[in-house]
Chains A and B, each alone.
Chain A
């Protein structure tokens, strides 16, 4: 713990908003500190997102699905709101940033199809909404008949009768990878990132604030509240909150890579208000799918898996692609989406009405797509608030990813192994992750099993750490120079292996003395 740090800006929260803003601020001569309460970045809503960055047909569906959040009389499509402006901008801009930061991504076509009368009506509604949204959206897709559908997706259910096809408006990446890459680049440009630094309180002191964290106090000028589903609590610490949250959930499933070749595009049935159903490839070669209504929960932590939702979801996906079954699910989770009560249909980005030094940020899905526009807007807000911003002359926009052994050619692999033999030692068999990659992840700041997983994919495969789990724990302990009994999954109280053998027997013996 280091006390008495000083900063111009403290960013609270290491999700997509916090890390995007950290990177944007790292372009200026400022002292910026990002604090994250967990042992890994991207541990809240960001990690549960599907990481689609989209315009076109997917955007139409997204607006329909999320229309349940609209206030009465509010239009479905508001091109002037923050969310829509930055998302449309983000769709064009993100691929460039992915290239700069060496983030893996794929472009996917999208097929929305109908199997029955009701779904045909759903397609009609898409077309109606597209009309309202304007020419760009009308031209983003074309109508495809049954024959064309099966040319695009030969493994689709035989019940498909008609579809809408958009071949260029979806980009997909792995959300934690995006946040971590942004943070790594920010760190390379002198932003300090502190993990396990839960904010306990915010105290106003003359013209400054003291942010009290688990890792010590930070004296700062501005505070940017990027605490996601906990942003209301942080706002409260800073003087008051004029918003709360409604929490919606949906269950997402990851499928085994051996099903990857069954589809070519994102395949989905028409979205309905509050209902989503799709399956699509991920940037790393799995499939991700969902089927179900948005659920409502009480809080940001209500992320428990529910068996019935999993079964329903898997059945829904099987009804799209019969070759994908429940047996192929290798992971599932229930993502919580926090929707602020103040601007339920838009991003909330404003100075707290209770404190002129705190910017409250409440993104809502889609959040990753709009994060770049958001980060620039925050810089403008800070300038207007009187912060002197001076561009760095030596800002380095590039970041290199950890070498992905599984994707390299044999020549490249041999070169790596020659430099560091640990790259020849495969630790995670499902995803072919080597010891070299894991050690490099730790060098870059991973201090938990989750941190390793998000950076290298070790443990993300079908055996779910059955094989690599003990080995990753061993490497973490060795490299961090801590006992194995202190290695955690993702937070300080998620120790994986708490005792040494015989320890409990000794305890029992002592009780008998």
Chain B
């Protein structure tokens, strides 16, 4: 592998998934000479390669693509633009003064780029973290790992499957495994509603007659060495299994799709402060963290449900990291955005109030016919809101922010039921 000149990197992007690719391209478009992506895998594209289903790029490209096709579009641009790429290289450490240590088969190296973009994506919540009762046999997989086995490695984890959690990857795997000849016995969801997108519920579960058990959970895993079955129970309002409702289902595989966690171990090393709700760095509208010159984009900041949003959001980081690398002064975030009624979080967590900004947010609970109020500056009516569907609102400087009184320190965002 060629090691590019690493001593004068303007913008270093950590991770070559959808976030990293989009951020790199956007940074390069701003005209900074040395944009470098560092990636631990042997190829660019990250998890997109295992997402062989469609539905990618509907918004970003106005085209319905598979994951690898979506990745290819960006990878072609990366090559055309002359963006440096360091593959098969693992970042081991980042310091608050932006010294990045990584290793690969050539050795360990430390570089000092002008700006860094964190684009490591997210990881899956595990059986251990949600403490599913029962044995600890082989045959329990997270949905993403199962997806990698099936779509990349060409292996399948078992014959009869129960899926716990109705996140998007879980539902997509229900369909994928059915097509591979496996018997998907049920998708079990602890909440009273599906966790992923409606289109996946319809296309992956309903179209394949896969049973959905809402307000249920896997309360026991049977089988000492390999999964032999699970017990499924109804849950109470605290999401605890209700005694007397147990039903045993024989299966040899349990797949978990129970949530994603932004991957921020490197961010923490760099002294980046995290938002306990999103699990990602606290960022301003430029996607800069509290650490000067360290930016973040995509699922590192917040777990998105659409890759199109990952690309868009990390372009913000790419654009502004390039501005920073060129020596441009970026205004500090002085106005805090506060999640109010039925709002779980808002990203960015703070804004300067001087530039256009897109707000990303999720609600706490599903509600129908609501009004979302961004302080006094924007009011939007929504027919249905769900925690699984991210809300995005464009706020313009001219139309909205310029009217905010000077000196204001925070804007509260509420999602109120209409008629209140």
Q: Enumerate chain A interface residues (CB-CB to B < 8 A).
A: 258, 301, 303-307, 310-311, 326-327, 329-333, 410, 413-414, 417-418, 421-422, 424-426, 429-430, 432, 462-467, 469-470, 474, 484-485, 488-491, 493-505, 507-508
The answer to whether A421 touches B225, judged by C-beta atoms less than 8 angstroms apart, is: no
Of the listed stretches B67-75, B134-142, B364-372, B382-390, chain A binds B134-142
Inter-subunit contact A493/B225 (CB<8 Å): yes
Beta-carbon contacts under 8 Å, B225-241 to A: 225-226, 240-241
Determine if B224 is an interface residue (Cβ-Cβ < 8 Å): yes
Residue in A426, A470, A474, A498 whose beta carbon sits within 8 Å of that of B90 in the complex = A426
The answer to whether A504 and B181 touch (CB under 8 A), given A470-B145, A470-B149, A496-B138, is: yes
Binary interface encoding of chain B residues 126-155 relative to chain A, with 1 for a CB under 8 A from any of its CBs, else 0: 111101111111110110110011101111
B154 touches A500 (CB 8 A): yes
Which of A424, A485, A505 is close to B104, meaning CB atoms less than 8 Å apart?
A: A424
Contacts of A424 in B (CB 8 A): 103-108
User: Closest chain B residue to A435 by CB distance?
Assistant: B105
For B132, list chain A residues within 8 Å (CB).
Answer: 305, 307
Q: A307-B132, A464-B126 are in contact. Are A494 and B155 (CB under 8 A)?
A: no
Judging by beta carbons under 8 Å apart, are B156 and A503 in contact? yes
Are A305 and B131 within 8 A (Cβ)?
Answer: yes
- Show 7 residue pairs from A and B whose CB-CB distance is below 8 angstroms, ordered by the A residue: A305-B131, A330-B128, A417-B103, A426-B40, A426-B103, A466-B124, A499-B158
* Contacts A333-B136, A466-B123; A497 near B155 (Cβ below 8 A): yes
Q: Mark B214-252, 1 if CB is under 8 A from A, else 0.
A: 000001110011100000000000001100000000001
12 more contacts with CB within 8 A, not counting A305-B135, A499-B155, are A304-B133, A304-B134, A307-B132, A424-B106, A425-B104, A466-B142, A466-B144, A470-B149, A489-B225, A495-B138, A498-B159, A501-B155
Contacts of A462 in B (CB 8 A): 123
Instruction: Please report whether the interface of chain A is mostly helix, strand, loop or mixed according to DSSP.
Output: mixed
B124 lies within 8 A of A494 (CB): no
Contact A413-B126, Cβ < 8 Å, known A332-B131, A503-B156: no
What chain B residues lie within 8 Å of A470 (beta carbons)? 145, 148-149, 152-153
B133 touches A425 (CB 8 A): no
| List of B residues within 8 angstroms of A491 by Cβ | 225
CB distance from A458 to the nearest CB of B (A): 14
Q: Tell me if B342 is interfacial: C-beta within 8 Å of chain A.
A: no
Cβ-defined contact, B180 with A502, below 8 A: yes
Q: Residue on A with the closest CB to B151?
A: A501
CA of A393 to CA of B221, assembled, Å: 52
What are the residues of chain B within 8 A of A333 when measuring CB–CB? 136
What residue of chain A has the Cβ atom nearest to residue B144's Cβ? A466
A410 to B92, CA, bound (A): 10
Residue of B92, B155, B252 near A500 (CB, 8 A) is B155
Contacts of B268 in A (CB 8 A): 258
Q: Are A413 and B103 in contact (CB under 8 A)?
A: yes
Query: Is A303's CB under 8 angstroms from B135's CB?
Result: yes
What residue in chain A is nearest B225 (Cβ atoms)? Answer: A494
Q: Would you call A485 and B155 a contact (CB within 8 A)?
A: yes
Q: Whole-angstrom distance from the CB of A471 to the nearest CB of chain B?
A: 10
**Cα separation A345 to B138 with both chains bound (whole Å):** 35
Closest CB of chain B to A502's CB: distance in Å? 7
Residues of A within 8 Å of B134, CB to CB, are 304-305
Q: State which of A429, A489, A504, A505 has its C-beta within 8 Å of the C-beta of B138.
A: A489
Residues of A within 8 A of B105 (CB): 417, 421-422, 424-425
B123 touches A307 (CB 8 A): no
B108 to A: closest C-beta gap in Å: 5
Contacting pair A469 B137 (CB below 8 A): no
Q: Which among A310, A466, A501 is the interface contact of B131 at CB below 8 angstroms?
A: A310
Which of A474, A489, A502 has the most chain B CB atoms closer than 10 A to its own CB?
A489
Chain B neighbourhood of A413, CB < 8 A: 103, 107-108
Alpha-carbon distance between A464 and B123 when the two chains are bound, in angstroms: 10
Q: Does B157 have its Cβ within 8 Å of any Cβ on chain A?
A: yes
Answer whether residue B182 sits at the interface, using C-beta atoms and an 8 A cutoff: yes
**A497 surroundings in chain B (CB, below 8 A):** 149, 153, 155-157
Set B135, B156, B240: member contacting A504, Cβ < 8 A: B156
Give the shortest distance, in Å, between A125 (CB) and chain B (any CB): 33
Residues in B with CB closer than 8 Å to A489 are: 137-138, 225
**A490 proximity list for chain B (CB < 8 A):** 138, 225
B30-47 at interface with A (beta carbon < 8 Å): 40
Chain A, Cβ-Cβ closest to B133 = A307
Interface centre among B124, B127, B133, B252 (most CB of A within 10 A): B133
Nearest 10 pairs between A and B by C-beta?
A: A504-B181, A421-B105, A426-B90, A489-B138, A494-B225, A310-B131, A494-B138, A505-B181, A464-B126, A424-B105
CA distance in complex: A422, B105 (Å):
6
Contact with A along B192-226 (1 / 0, CB 8 A): 00000000000000000000000000011100111
